[in-house]
A = this chain, B = another copy of it.
Amino acid sequence: MSAFTGTQSANETNAQQMLTTVALNLWKQTIERADKTFSALTDEQLQKQIAPGKNRVGYVWGHLIAANDYMIQLLGIGERVHPELQQTFVTNPDDRANQLPSAEQLKSYWNEVNAKVLAGISAFSPEEWIGRHNAVSEEDFAKEPTRNRFAVLLSRIYHLGYHTGQVITVTK
């Protein structure tokens, strides 16, 4: 019985680790694909709109940087690297009267933020993944345990797909 339980437990640990490994792998691929899409763009291409009257490509990139930066706080990895981007690229809609940061600047923010996110999420155990994220109170989390770190990661993968698709359409 004890040996059986031991075996079962090892399998279960493997299952948990496999599930989180798969998500982590997809995160890396997702970032790589977005990186190929954005990092080669010129300042001029960043001015292009994803459709007439819609966000500029450079706004979308800034938006993804700010969203990934917010993950650092949300997942309890540490302090945000560029909290100043939140206002311009998340709270406010794109305003063509605002000058965008240069391609070089955005690339530097992008790399900096993604490195910090990746270092943090690579270290999480399965138990940490199903733990509470920082935008939900302990009381609410007790009622809705699906509001955990893993849910943040998966929804950010979707979000990256959403915006990468928009930008590839007008830059390729």
Contacts and interface: CB of A to CB of B under 8 A. Distances in A.
Contact of A26 (B18, B54, B154): B154
Q: How large is the interface on A (under 10, 10 to 19, 20 to 34, 35 or more residues)?
A: 35 or more
B12 A5 contact: no
Interface in A1-19: 1-2, 5-6, 8-9, 11-16, 18-19
Chief secondary structure at chain A's binding surface: helix
A136 to B, nearest CB: 13
Copies of this chain in the oligomer: 2
Nearest to A11: B127
Most-contacted residue by chain B among A9, A22, A162 (CB, 10 A): A22
Interface of A: 1-2, 5-6, 8-9, 11-16, 18-23, 25-26, 30, 50-51, 54, 126-127, 129-130, 145-146, 148, 150-151, 154-155, 157-166, 169-170
